[in-house]
Amino acid sequence: MTKAGESYQELVASVRRALDPGAEVIAGRWMIGPDGRRDRDVWVEGTIAGQPQRVLIECKDRRSRVGIRVVDELDSKRRDLDATVAAIYSNSGFTKPAIKKARRVGIQLAVALKSGDTAVRVGLLQRFVARRLSVDTWRLVLVWPTTDPDPGEVDPRELLHDGRPLINWLHEQSVRILEEHGARPLVQAEYAFTAPQTFAHRSGSLRLIGLVLFMECSDTHVAQTVATDVSLGHFDVLQGRISVPHDQGYELGPFDSDSWEPSPAAPDSPLESGTFSIGLVLLNPIARHASRPVPLLDPVIAESKVWFPEPPVSNRQHG
């Protein structure tokens, strides 16, 4: 019969075998120390950067958080067993005093992770900060031939080209501008057609030889806390990092588009070898008509220019 804690001990051993494939990982064996028998939940022996490493791991599968006493005991045991590294894996987290003491004496604290394993009681949540590039306001200037009459006020949201809403093409242009230039405070995008193009609207139709799109944009940061799942790995409590062994999966989310909250930008810290970070950029472009096709205007664009004016610009113009 499996004793209490042995399943978690075996899980930790499997995590360490995956993380240290060239090392010898031993679970549940004791050894003789200066004062007699000392238990070793998991013992990892291998070579890192040419140096021999002996890792002593304590596994705690309990309902309450691991306290400072366990850190003190492992600090003593690692000296008795001449371990170069000591770590505690907990299936219920750690108290603040335990975290403080472990950080001071150099003992690693971790949580074993295995997707779908009901023995793992710790759910991992991570806060992700995203950069959001938004079109806050926009307006469109219509450019018509000088020989045509002034079409008057026309809502650009109603314009159709070959039965397709112009707003969907403006949506694509705003996405392209945000991706290429970021959210500049004021954007002016000018498009000249190779020949006059006919657009339909509620009151009739009109011919246009060009468009001028003005956008006011913002560049902010937002954050959301989401669940994180790993097929097999661990979470380093002190470093705030997830370790994912080779050939293992890492899954986060789902994200809720309505749950983003304003946030300061994430600190920009250099990555160490063998690590990765996830950067998120959210685009909030001009809204489009869902399930409607995009007008085929790109082939009839003779010239386009995007620039970033400082002063206010006129509301309307004609050619």
Task: Among 87, 122, 157, give the residue marking a domain's end.
Answer: 122
Does a structural domain hold residue 215? yes
Does a structural domain hold residue 237? no
Same domain, 130 and 214: yes
Does a structural domain hold residue 242? no
Q: How confident is the model at residue 318 (pLDDT cuts 50, 70, 90)?
A: very low
Kindly list the distances between the CA atom of residue 93 and the CA atoms of 12, 25, 99, 102, in Å, as whole numbers in the listed order: 14, 23, 10, 13
CB count within 10 Å of CB 314 equals: 8
Task: Among 66, 88, 122, give the residue marking a domain's end.
Answer: 122
Same domain, 151 and 255: yes
Q: How far apart are CA 242 and CA 276, in angstroms?
A: 10
In the chain, how long is the greatest CA-to-CA distance?
102
Same domain, 23 and 47: yes
Asked if pLDDT for residue 263 goes beyond 60, the answer is: yes
12 half-sphere exposure, CB direction, 13 A CA radius: 29
Q: Dig out the tokens for 26 from the structure.
A: 């031993």
Same domain, 131 and 92: no
Same domain, 171 and 271: yes
Cβ atoms of 55 and 44 closer than 8 Å = yes
Q: The whole model's pTM is what?
A: 0.75
Q: How far apart are CA 11 and CA 28, in angstroms?
A: 12
Does a structural domain hold residue 282? yes
Q: How far apart are CA 243 and CA 260, in angstroms?
A: 26
Interhelix angle 96-105/68-80, rounded to 10 degrees, is: 30
Same domain, 217 and 139: yes
Same domain, 142 and 261: yes
Does a structural domain hold residue 240? no
Instruction: List, for residues 121-177, the tens digit of each pLDDT value.
Output: 888 888 999 999 999 999 999 999 999 998 888 999 999 999 999 999 999 999 999
Same domain, 282 and 146: yes
Same domain, 100 and 128: no
Asked if pLDDT for residue 76 goes beyond 70, the answer is: yes
Q: How confident is the model at residue 48 (pLDDT cuts 50, 70, 90)?
A: low
CATH number for the domain that contains residue 116: 3.40.1350.10
- Which of 167, 165, 142 has its CA nearest to residue 287? 167
Does a structural domain hold residue 50? yes
Q: What range does the domain containing 91 cover?
A: 6-122
End-to-end C-alpha distance for the chain, whole angstroms: 87
Cβ burial 286-298 (10 Å sphere, 16+ → b, else e)? bebeeeeebbebe
Q: What is the pLDDT of residue 311?
A: 54
How does the average pLDDT of the chain come out, rounded? 89
Q: What is the pLDDT of residue 210?
A: 96
Cβ atoms of 225 and 162 closer than 8 Å = no
Cβ atoms of 85 and 74 closer than 8 Å = no
Cβ atoms of 159 and 200 closer than 8 Å = yes
Same domain, 138 and 43: no
Same domain, 143 and 187: yes
Of the ranges 122-131, 137-146, 194-203, 300-309, which one carries the lowest mean pLDDT score? Answer: 122-131
How many separate domains does the chain show? 2
Q: How far apart are CA 200 and CA 203, in angstroms?
A: 8
CA 1 to chain centre: 43
Does a structural domain hold residue 307? yes
CB count within 10 Å of CB 137 equals: 10
Q: How confident is the model at residue 316 (pLDDT cuts 50, 70, 90)?
A: very low
Q: Dig out the tokens for 245 from the structure.
A: 């062994």
Same domain, 205 and 279: yes
Does a structural domain hold residue 276? yes
Task: Among 72, 93, 122, give the residue marking a domain's end.
Answer: 122
Instruction: List, for residues 86-133, the tens digit of each pLDDT value.
Output: 999 999 999 999 999 999 999 999 999 999 888 888 888 889 999 999
